[in-house]
Structure 1
Amino acid sequence: MLHPAVLAGVWDHSDFRADMHGRLRRTAKFIATTTYDHAENGQAMIDKVNRIHAKLAGVLPDGTPYRVSDPSLLAWVHVTETISFLDAWFRYAEPDMPMAEQDAYFDEMARIGAALQADPLPRTRAEAEALIQSYRSQLRADARTHEVARLVMRQRVGSPAVDAAAGVIMQAGLDLLPEWAQAMHERPLGPPRAVTRAGALSTARFIRWAFRGSPNTRVHPRDVTRYP
């Protein structure tokens, strides 16, 4: 949300305001397919996304033109989502994860980024953190940023149990951001950090229990998905 051109691409060319849950489902499906499905299915989804991106462009409120297919914008999306996924795993599942395995994760995820034509692509955690720092001068938190953040954080589906879990997950996601990014978002008052993390850990344990025995948990191990 903090990169104005990336946010504009979603704001100008997406129906997220009318169908936030549909947008989330499509994004989750893309991530699941490109990460866990057979390579040909992942590549087909990537090709579809690339075709869509190639058609989309616009102009920022300050008059700056942008292209959704800009490799540097795609790189920002790639590196921020990758480090967020890893940090969530590190905090709530494997806090002693070796750095070598963290680096391997970035190296593996870079194959998806390359297929999406993102550039530059970090291959280690140190490279990812350095790349994020290099973008900071481009980041902004304006009225549009705060509006989208508000919409995302307050999304509800009407089920008390699901909404409660979603609220915890949203707070935990915000808590994963570096302090400077939280400050740009003007992090609203919410549960104390320790409460947020305890709630997220309990929610994660419940979800793992709920999905125990699901067909998705009985897949055979396989090699890392490789893309051309």
Structure 2
Amino acid sequence: MDGPKSYLGWKVDYTAPVGEPAFAGPDSISWQVFKNPVALAVGGVCAVLLEFADARIRSGVWDHSVFKTDPIGRSKRTGTAAMVGVYGPQAAARRVIQGVTNMHARVKGKTPTGEAYQALDVELLDWVSATASYGFLMGYHRFIRPLSDADQNRFFAEGETVAGLYGVQTKIRSLADFDTMMRKLLPRFEPHPINTEFLDIMRSGRAAPGVPKGLQSSLVNAAVEILPPEVRTKLALGPEYDLSPAGRFAVKTMARIAESVPDTAGPPAQACERLGLPRSFLWKSEAECARLLESARNRPLPQEASA
């Protein structure tokens, strides 16, 4: 739906100011990945499972957020923060990121075993950032379109500035970097009832009203499938979470439709308009995108034309 989106009381208008760049460009891998709602749904659940594998993050989210009582609102706010970091004008993205950081500064406590945590601990910030990048990338790579190693590395590099604004110190630049960070934390990972409660919420459709329950279960199982095998074993997510052939077909069909049918009302399309491109730009062929980008570079934006 058109119009400014709200986050933490601020309005985020993806169509203005005209010409203001985002932290990633319209020719980026990030703009392709984040336009597909299937990649976001699958990748988002995968990222949360990776975060919840660590008791400090699991306790921080479960004890200090409204996810249990308002999964829809919590999911929408998380999605808005991700979208504004990719598509939003840089000034708006900085405001939102600072707001998230301010909120996280108040999140601290102890795990059930008595281990202290703070949301702004560098190790936790680094891991949360890494899990989001891994989840969204692998969701797209496995269910929408395979990406080359070079494109995967581009995707990681495109997120470095935003990661730094969140306070991330160790920025992953490849899947190998992610694997290194994961293996350092792997001994901490454990199964926990909160993990399965989270998956039950996501499977029930409470976090995505309007999506058939069967399809929601398939999206959750797809998220479990892209977990690194060692993590899935640590979390004891057994065969009940295997993606069936019918479920795989449903997820890939939904992903293919989302990849080919433009959503001209969402943030990706609005961001294209802000930069002088058609709202359907991200759904066009590579050759057509290159032509439109070249044309936009040579054409003054409205604010420049009237100067």
Q: TM-score, normalised by structure 2?
A: 0.65
Show the counterpart of 2:218: 168
C-alpha distance in 1 between matches for 2:192 and 2:263:
42
Tell me, yes or no, if structure 1 residue 10 matches structure 2 residue 61: yes
Q: 1:197 corresponds to which residue?
A: 248
**What SS does the corresponding residue of 1:196 show, helix, strand or coil?**
helix
Structure-1 separation of matches of 2:209 and 2:112 = 37
Q: Residues 33 and 157 of structure 1: is their aligned pair in 2 closer, same or farther, counting only changes over 3 Å?
A: closer
- 1:57–1:67 CA contact under 8 A, matched in 2: yes
Question: What RMSD over aligned residues (CA atoms) do the two structures have, in Å?
Answer: 2.5
Q: C-alpha offsets along residues 148-193 of structure 1, whole Å, 9 cap, x if unaligned?
A: 3333333337966543432322221121112222232423525644
- Percent identical pairs in the alignment equals 21
In the other structure, the counterpart of 2:144 is: 93
> What amino acid is aligned across from residue 133 of structure 2 in structure 1?
T
Query: Could you tell me whether the CA contact under 8 Å between 2:189 and 2:231 is conserved in 1?
Result: no
Give the secondary-structure state (helix, strand or coil) at the position aligned to 2:67: coil
**One-letter code aligned to 1:202:** T
Q: Report matched runs for 1:51-200 at 5 Å.
A: 51-95=102-146, 97-156=147-206, 161-183=211-233, 184-190=235-241, 192-200=243-251
Deviates more, 1:16-25 or 1:114-123: 114-123
190-199 vs 71-80, greater mean Cα deviation = 190-199
Q: Is the 8 A contact 1:92 1:201 kept in 2?
A: yes
Query: Could you tell me whether the CA contact under 8 Å between 2:153 and 2:173 is conserved in 1?
Result: yes
Deviation at 1:14, TM superposition (A): 0.5
In structure 1, stretches of 5+ residues that fail to align are: 224-228
Q: Size of the alignment, in residue pairs?
A: 222
C-alpha contact (below 8 Å) 1:165/1:203 kept by paired residues: no
Counterpart of 2:77 in structure 1 is: 26
Change (3 A) 1:149 1:165: closer
Per the alignment, in what secondary structure is the counterpart of residue 58 of structure 1? strand
| Stretches of structure 2 lacking an aligned partner (at least 5 in a row) | 1-51, 278-292, 298-307
